[in-house]
Amino acid sequence: MKVTLIHPCIGRIPGKDYIKSWQMEALPPAQLAALTPSGIEVVFHDDRLEPIPFDDPTDLVALSVETYTAKRAYQIATEYRRRGIPVVMGGFHATLVPDEVQRYAEAIVLGEAEETWPRLLEDFRSGGLCRRYQAERRPALGSVRPDRRIFAGKHYLDLRLLEASRGCRMSCDFCAIQTFFASTHRRREVASIVEEIRSFGKNPPLLFFVDDNLVATPAWTKELCRAIEPLGVQWVGQAAITMTRDEELLELLHRSGCQGVLIGFESLDPRNLAAMGKTFAHTDDGLEAALERLRRHHLRLYATFVFGYEHDTLESFERTVEFCRQQRIFMVAFNHLTPFPGTPLYKRLEAQGRLLFPRWWLDDAYRYGMAPFSLSLPAEVVTERCVAARKAFYSLASIAGRLLEPTNTGNRRMFQAYVFINLLLRKEAAQREGYPLGDLTFRGPLLEVGQRRPVQVALGA
């Protein structure tokens, strides 16, 4: 038995290579590979990096689907279904909109796959594949490590990805994480994480903890930091602004080798934060003091902001860019707010008739970077101003000014990283804008489960 795992890209433009910068290891297929029982051959294709050999023999195809890759995933499924090969799908999008995804897959996995994937494979072997699989309980973490052997020959960014926990207790209305994990946060045993890091060998590349909020349980995070400090590794991760209230945590993060954190600030307007259910982002002494504590502990910052909420104005963009420049932040993302299906935000905008596309992720008129709704500002204005904000923040003058911040360039490695990343983001300020969702060379309708391959009839027959 042979199973083909595929990581779909967002889309493709005829005659152009896919945008290949920032391509990191694909952990979901590596986790599936690790969960696959022995005796089953596993092959992996990364649609971002290589063409998919649709005609290679295989028994079953599996795709992990995100909202931005849904259209492309359905195209890939159609190509295999035309060849009579069954397809199964899982991932965030399958859990958010299962009825839609099930139209294009013989089976779908809802939620996490640790318990359901082996059962699905056994059912397939015995000819009794179910339409839906969902675990009765959330699985224990860390019992199976990703099988990174499937990455052989792939040219990913020089990062080693690992997962220490899942979920986030916060309930931000725009976040698909809180919907998928029901606002829970579960953690691996620290010893298991240490063992995995040791398996990377001496002097591993920069580690990236992909956890949605690594500091959601501070006591556990402190235990983790103390345990990995002797390993001498360098790492980055994702966190919440709440971490800046705990000086001990900040010190332990630095001592453990943390080089920087991604924090979603989202907005500088308290009214917007209240609308998105993110009042926890307020700090008693202000954001400036919180950022000063990060600098004091030598923690670099990747800040993210979203625009399009009710209280955003044209001035909001300029104010945010100026704030980030004055604070000399290492790197910043300025994006439009994205209403993901299944989230409270999407349901609210849908009920208010604010969505410009009923299902933007499948609409042929939608392009990456387009705001798919309008609130206080027209969608096209939000789209244009996000690009302008990126160009302003990554101007040569801004890059040079933030170069003077010692935290950004405190050592040779981070100096080189700062220059490389900022110049790259300057180049990419508008590079993804207007990118299609799905492959524009794809021809024919999407083939749904139960439909036969279209019969080609000769003219005049």
How far is 85 from 152, CA to CA, in rounded Å? 25
**Residue 81 and residue 38 share a domain:** yes
What is the pTM for the complete model shown? Answer: 0.92
pLDDT at 451: 73
Residue 328 within a domain: yes
CATH number at residue 132: 3.40.50.280
Residue 178 within a domain: yes
**Residue 114 and residue 183 share a domain:** no
**Residue 175 and residue 292 share a domain:** yes
pLDDT at 361: 97
Other Cβ atoms less than 10 A from the Cβ of 43: the count is 14
Question: What does DSSP say about strands 185-187 and 165-167: parallel, antiparallel, or unpaired?
Answer: antiparallel
pLDDT at 281: 59
pLDDT at 375: 87
Residue 459 within a domain: no
Residue 146 within a domain: no
**Residue 238 and residue 126 share a domain:** no
Q: Which of 112, 140, 168 is the last residue of a domain?
A: 140
How far is 448 from 75, CA to CA, in rounded Å? 10
pLDDT at 20: 65
pLDDT at 178: 74
**Residue 215 and residue 119 share a domain:** no
**Residue 168 and residue 134 share a domain:** no
Residue 447 within a domain: no
pLDDT at 284: 65
Number of domains into which the chain is organized: 2
Residue 440 within a domain: no
How far is 300 from 329, CA to CA, in rounded Å? 8
**Residue 201 and residue 80 share a domain:** no
- Which stretches does DSSP call E strand in 188-231? 206-209
CATH number at residue 416: 3.20.20.70
At 94 the three-state DSSP class reads: helix
Cα-atom radius of gyration of the chain, to the nearest Å? 23
Average pLDDT for runs of 10 along the chain of length 461: 96 81 88 96 95 97 97 98 96 95 97 94 95 86 88 90 88 80 84 95 92 94 98 95 94 96 94 85 78 95 95 96 96 94 93 93 94 92 95 96 89 85 88 86 90 40 24
Residue 150 within a domain: no
**Residue 314 and residue 263 share a domain:** yes
**Residue 189 and residue 120 share a domain:** no
How far is 6 from 61, CA to CA, in rounded Å? 7
Residue 450 within a domain: no
Domain of 79? Answer: 2-140
pLDDT at 21: 62
**Residue 285 and residue 400 share a domain:** yes
**Residue 165 and residue 122 share a domain:** no
Which candidate, 107, 119, 98, places its Cα nearest to that of 61? 107
**Residue 406 and residue 263 share a domain:** yes
